[in-house]
Every structure is written in structure tokens, then in C-alpha cells.
């Protein structure tokens, strides 16, 4: 059985300068209470790996507003003018990665691959400085794995040993990211006894989860 943490205790575990894999798509499936706790702690210098930077006041947008993010690896900045402004001013740096490539690079880290081969980005700025590999006469970019120090995961339910299930599209990046970080912190909406989540509904096994956030008040 895993012990649950208060949000502030979880945030205290995450040092400034850490690389965070944060689930979600425009804020859907993002662990909001964990992000709120990081903002309250005054976290700084974070590298955030995520699909997007959401919007001001929502999800990763809160970290952007608070000045907690130094670098973001993302497929797009979302509908967030604050991210755009901070990129222009140099307060934040960014690596833009095609969405499919982004999730595959994270998956590669989780399953121990040395990288992935993809034709996406050939002949564009994405190719600059990267190794090109030819297979059966076709050219591919070698894209390297993306590892995280922490993965911050939102889930619909967790059971007492950390098995997770998700709601519809909130599934998105969360299960993949849970495989690719040294420490995984899950923020479930509810915590239930073992057996309540049907085995077929478990999308992230408890063996991957290091810490569970306590229930919201």
C-alpha cells in the first residue's frame, strides 16, 4: 500500500532546475493541485516537457505566469500569449518538437530505446544538427529519448497500490510519461480499494508509481 502525500510535500520533493514530464493536452489531464503547489513553493528554473503550455491560469500556464519555467520542450505553446511573450523576451527557451515525435521520444525513454527513426522534419529546421539514418533506401531522422527527473500524472482513480485509470481524453500523455521519469507522482481524483478498478481499466500499473497525492478536500 502506498502512502499519500499532501501537495505541498510533493512539491517540496521537486528541486529547482528539475526536468518535469507533465501530462495533459491544453490542460485536460494535467495535475492541477501539483502545479498549484509548485507555484506556491516558488519553484524556479524548471524544464517542462509537455504537449503544450495550456492557457494563462490553467495547467502549465500557471507555471509560466509564475516564472517557474526556464525551458520547455513541447509540440506547441498552446493558446498562451504569456509563453509567447517570454520566448520573445528570452525569459524562456523552447524546443519545438512535432507532436508524434515528442510522444515517441518520451516512450523511447520509458522502454529503454536509444532513440527513434522518423521521416518527420526532414528538409526542415527540425533536421538541423541531427543524425540522418538511411534504412532500405529511405532517410530518417534519429530522435533521442526524453527522460524526466519527475513525471507529474493526473488520473481519474488510483487504488491503494497505485494502479491508475483515466477518463477519456485525459488519458493522453499520462501513461507514456509515467514510464519515462525517475520519480512518478500521481494526482488522482479519488483513491479506491484494490479491486474497484477493473483490471482491463488499469492503464498505468502501480509498480510505476512512486507517490500518490492525497484526495482533494
Give dist(CA 181, CA 183) in Å, integer.
Answer: 5
What does DSSP say about strands 211-213 and 164-165: parallel, antiparallel, or unpaired?
unpaired
Selection from 95, 94, 117 nearest residue 104 by Cα: 117
Number of residues assigned to the chain: 217
pLDDT band at 203 (very low <50, low <70, confident <90, very high): very high
Q: Kindly state the cell numbers that stand for 86.
A: 517570454
pLDDT band at 184 (very low <50, low <70, confident <90, very high): very high
Predicted pLDDT of residue 215? 83
Q: Kindly state the cell numbers that stand for 109.
A: 525513454
Average pLDDT over residues 145-152: 98
Is residue 167 classed as helix, strand or coil in its secondary structure?
coil
Give dist(CA 183, CA 211) in Å, integer.
Answer: 8
Contact 6, 214 (CB under 8 A): yes
Model pTM score? 0.95
Contact 38, 64 (CB under 8 A): no
Predicted pLDDT of residue 217? 67
Half-sphere exposure of 191 toward its Cβ, with a 13 Å CA cutoff? 18
Give dist(CA 34, CA 151) in Å, integer.
Answer: 11
Give dist(CA 203, CA 176) in Å, integer.
Answer: 10
Tens of pLDDT, residues 58-100: 999 999 999 999 999 999 987 999 999 999 999 999 999 999 9
Amino acid at each position: 500500500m502506498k502512502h499519500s502525500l499532501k501537495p505541498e510535500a510533493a512539491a517540496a520533493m521537486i528541486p529547482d532546475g528539475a526536468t518535469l514530464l507533465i501530462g495533459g493536452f491544453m490542460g485536460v489531464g494535467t495535475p492541477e493541485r501539483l502545479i498549484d503547489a509548485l507555484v506556491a513553493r516558488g519553484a524556479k528554473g524548471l524544464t517542462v516537457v509537455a504537449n503544450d503550455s495550456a492557457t494563462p491560469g490553467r495547467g502549465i500556464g500557471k507555471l509560466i505566469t509564475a516564472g517557474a519555467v526556464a525551458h520547455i520542450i513541447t509540440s506547441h505553446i498552446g493558446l498562451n500569449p504569456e509563453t509567447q511573450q517570454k520566448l520573445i523576451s528570452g525569459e524562456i527557451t523552447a524546443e519545438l518538437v512535432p507532436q508524434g515525435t515528442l510522444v515517441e521520444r518520451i516512450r523511447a525513454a520509458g522502454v529503454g530505446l536509444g532513440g527513434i527513426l522518423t521521416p518527420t522534419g526532414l528538409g526542415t529546421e527540425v533536421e538541423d544538427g541531427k543524425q540522418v539514418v538511411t534504412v532500405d533506401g529511405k532517410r530518417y531522422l534519429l530522435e533521442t529519448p526524453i527522460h524526466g527527473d519527475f513525471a507529474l500524472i493526473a488520473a481519474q482513480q488510483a487504488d491503494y497500490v497505485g494502479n491508475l485509470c483515466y477518463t477519456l481524453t485525459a488519458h493522453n500523455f499520462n501513461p507514456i510519461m509515467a514510464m519515462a521519469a525517475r520519480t512518478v507522482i500521481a494526482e488522482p481524483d479519488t483513491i479506491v480499494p484494490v479491486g474497484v478498478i477493473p483490471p482491463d481499466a488499469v492503464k498505468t500499473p502501480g509498480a510505476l508509481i512512486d507517490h500518490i497525492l492525497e484526495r482533494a478536500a
